[in-house]
A and B are shown apart, each in its own frame.
Chain A
């Protein structure tokens, strides 16, 4: 079964509203989680690294104020898309390593398809 749960799987919102996406590790604690974004027919691009107990680390070109990340606990990270616009429409997916080692399989959530109208 899934070890990382992402919710919601699909959301449609109006321009100007904010949307929160949750990423939960189900049977392990994750001090780090990663948020990726995927445009239609494109690859996955890392947006930010979510760190429990400290600020998220954003990749170059990602607006911190637009994409708020909060790692509230060892099993939950949230991505909030603030004041959403149609260009924010995308597929967002999180991942969490079971352990902070590179040989750990990265477990991915199911993804969230965001459509801003």
Chain B
């Protein structure tokens, strides 16, 4: 069975601090995809990144960066110089192919609060 664990349920930082959100996953698949989504208070899910299991290069997008470590089954997310607008719940997810498509197993989420 696939499982995604986000050990940090809530994180509070002061604006401009860097913050790392942890994600650890379990899967028996050799090919899989990992995702991060942002969920602001309005509820919609904002896609941040998709990474396949064969690509272990770290990725940077503006203030966001992701560290994929296959050896430790982790896919951590770092926000540099956090801003108040970053306050949201962040979900890490793992993709699984059922018979027909892309079904996601979500972690429990990390609520990030960035204070001015």
Residue pair A93, B45 in contact (C-beta under 8 Å): yes
In this complex, the interface size class of chain B, counting residues with CB under 8 Å from chain A, is: 20 to 34
Residue pair B100, A100 in contact (C-beta under 8 Å): yes
The secondary-structure label for the interface of chain B is: strand
The yes or no answer to B52 lying at the interface (CB within 8 A) is yes
Chain A's closest residue to B44 (CB) is: A110
Residue pair B97, A101 in contact (C-beta under 8 Å): yes
> How far is the CB of A15 from the nearest CB of chain B, in Å?
23
Segment with Cβ contacts to A, from B56-64, B68-76, B104-112:
B104-112
Q: Which residues on A sit within 8 Å (CB–CB) of B43?
A: 91, 93, 110-111, 113
> How far is the CB of A37 from the nearest CB of chain B, in Å?
11
Q: Which residues on A sit within 8 Å (CB–CB) of B91?
A: 43-44
Q: Which residues on A sit within 8 Å (CB–CB) of B100?
A: 31-32, 49, 51, 100
Binding site for B on A (CB under 8 A): 31-32, 34, 41-46, 49, 51, 57, 91, 93, 95, 97, 99-106, 108, 110-111, 113
- For the complex of A and B, 8 pairs with smallest distance between CB atoms: A97-B102, A32-B101, A32-B100, A102-B97, A97-B101, A108-B45, A111-B43, A100-B101
